[in-house]
């Protein structure tokens, strides 16, 4: 593994999930492995879970962390090659990535989608530029199109809670007042294709994710039909992909409620957090004993720990 940018950078999923579950039982078992190693953490966007869980994972491996909010603390970065830098951008990523590589042994980066330029977002300019110019491994802490650490935490959570070999897993779109990216929905879909799951997605017309990613997934436009017999229900908002970045509908009748959960097979409820109560999901679902959201957040630590451990093991 040179970098951890997409789930393709994690070839052995079963091994990674088993290792994470073992680390959760013995979090400090490899505390000396990261001695005198440094993880740089660069945030172009806010975070609660990703920041703290990745720092916690590093601590448990004996790694020191250096955190920087690039949105307001660093020089504004230029990403285009061959440009005359006469504008507001003071530093080129070519130098920045090489400089960070002098101080750190690994660098983790969060850089969300702009939601204004699909082509640019899909090119993953920030992550790929760092991967191109850095001489150290680059770890994705949520990029424009992917959130692989979240998807790995979700896989760990499902593995621990599944009662049958092939559970029914429903990813259902939810209403939201803000346009949100596709990263979580994309990575969860890719992860479900790698797990043995009867996986379906429900969304209103026009709210489909990237068809390249969902091409092997049954799509439902009737949420209640999709929920029937579900063992896990993952709810998430994402903006329109076809009319990129737009909120086409606020469809409040797509909020997940206790009444809708009665259609399921006593399903566990999942969400990556943060979540807007009584917009995305009713209190009665989020506060129900079947809600796994806090455990998912806890599993973020062990997802990150497995990835960091792999890099340390590979020298
Ligand atoms: N789920 C997740 O990535 O949370 P944060 O945005 O708080 O890091």
To test ligand 1's pocket by mutation, which of 148, 234, 273 has the most ligand atoms within 8 angstroms of CB?
273
Please give the distance, rounded to the nearest whole angstrom, from the Cα atom of residue 11 to the centre of ligand 1.
24
Amino acid 314: pLDDT: 85
**275 CA distance to ligand 1 middle (Å):** 10
Tell me, what's the pLDDT at 71? 87
Q: Whose CA is nearest to atom 6 of ligand 1?
A: 47
Look at ligand 1, atom 1, and give the residue with the nearest C-alpha. 272
> Separation of 158 CA from ligand 1 center, angstroms?
18
Closest CA to 22 of 59, 50, 60: 60
Long-range pairs, 191-197, Cβ under 8 A, ≥24: 191/7, 191/151, 191/152, 191/154, 191/155, 192/217, 193/217, 194/7, 194/13, 194/155, 195/13, 195/155, 195/158, 195/159, 196/165, 196/166, 197/158, 197/166, 197/167, 197/168, 197/169
- Exposure string for 64-75, b = 16+ CB within 10 A, e = fewer: ebeeebbeeebe
In the chain, domain spans:
7-146+300-313, 148-296
Domain 7-146+300-313: give its CATH architecture: 3-Layer(aba) Sandwich (3.40)
Ligand 1 centroid – CA 142 distance (Å): 8
For domain 148-296, give the CATH number.
3.40.50.1370
Instruction: Give the tokens for residue 13.
Output: 């999923």
- Give residue 315's pLDDT: 73
Within this chain, domains 7-146+300-313 and 148-296 share the same CATH topology: yes
- Closest-lying ligand 1 atom to the alpha carbon of residue 45: 6
Q: What spacing in Å lies between the alpha carbon of 273 and ligand 1's midpoint?
A: 6
pTM for the full model? 0.98
Looking at the CA of residue 142, tell me the nearest atom of ligand 1: 3
- pLDDT 10s per residue in the chain (315 long)? 699 999 999 989 999 999 999 999 999 999 999 999 999 999 999 999 999 999 999 999 999 999 999 989 999 999 999 999 999 999 999 999 999 999 999 999 999 999 999 999 999 999 999 999 999 999 999 999 999 999 999 999 999 999 999 999 999 999 999 999 999 999 999 999 999 999 999 999 999 999 999 999 999 999 999 999 999 999 999 999 999 999 999 999 999 999 999 999 999 999 999 999 999 999 999 999 999 999 999 999 999 999 999 999 987
How many whole angstroms separate alpha carbon 131 and alpha carbon 144?
15
Give Cβ neighbours of residue 212 (< 8 Å, ≥ 6 apart).
Answer: none
Give me 11's structure tokens.
């070839």
Ligand 1 neighbours, Cβ below 6 Å, are 47-50, 142, 150, 272-274
DSSP at 277: B
Q: How far apart are CA 175 and CA 253, in angstroms?
A: 8
Sign of the C-alpha dihedral, residues 235, 297, 179, 255? positive
């Amino acid at each position: 593994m040179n970098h951890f940018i997409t789930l393709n950078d994690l070839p052995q999923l079963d091994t990674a999930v088993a290792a994470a579950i073992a680390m959760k039982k013995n979090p400090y078992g490899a505390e000396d492995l990261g001695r005198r190693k440094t993880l740089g953490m660069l945030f172009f966007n806010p975070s609660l879970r990703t920041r703290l869980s990745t720092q916690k994972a590093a601590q448990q491996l004996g790694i020191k962390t250096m955190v920087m909010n690039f949105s307001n603390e660093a020089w504004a970065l230029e990403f285009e090659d061959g440009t005359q830098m006469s504008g507001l951008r003071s530093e080129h990523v070519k130098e920045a990535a090489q400089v960070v590589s002098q101080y750190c042994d690994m660098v983790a980066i969060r850089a969300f989608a702009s939601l204004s330029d699909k082509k640019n977002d899909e090119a993953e300019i920030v992550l790929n530029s760092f991967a191109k110019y850095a001489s150290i491994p680059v770890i994705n802490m949520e990029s424009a199109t992917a959130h692989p650490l979240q998807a790995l935490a979700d896989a760990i959570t499902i593995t621990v809670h599944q009662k049958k070999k092939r559970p029914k897993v429903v990813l259902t779109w939810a209403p939201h007042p803000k346009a949100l990216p596709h990263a979580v929905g994309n990575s969860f879909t890719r992860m479900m294709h790698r797990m043995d799951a009867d996986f379906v997605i429900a969304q209103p017309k026009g709210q489909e994710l990237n068809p390249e990613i969902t091409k092997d997934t049954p799509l439902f436009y009737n949420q209640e039909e999709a929920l029937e017999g579900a063992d896990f229900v993952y709810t998430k908002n994402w903006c329109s992909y076809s009319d990129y970045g737009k909120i086409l509908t606020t469809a409040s009748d797509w909020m997940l409620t206790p009444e809708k959960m009665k259609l399921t097979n006593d399903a566990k409820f999942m969400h990556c957090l943060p979540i807007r109560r009584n917009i995305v999901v009713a209190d009665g679902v989020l506060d129900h004993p079947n809600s796994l959201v806090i455990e998912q957040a806890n599993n973020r630590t062990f997802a990150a720990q497995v990835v960091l451990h792999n890099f340390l093991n590979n020298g």
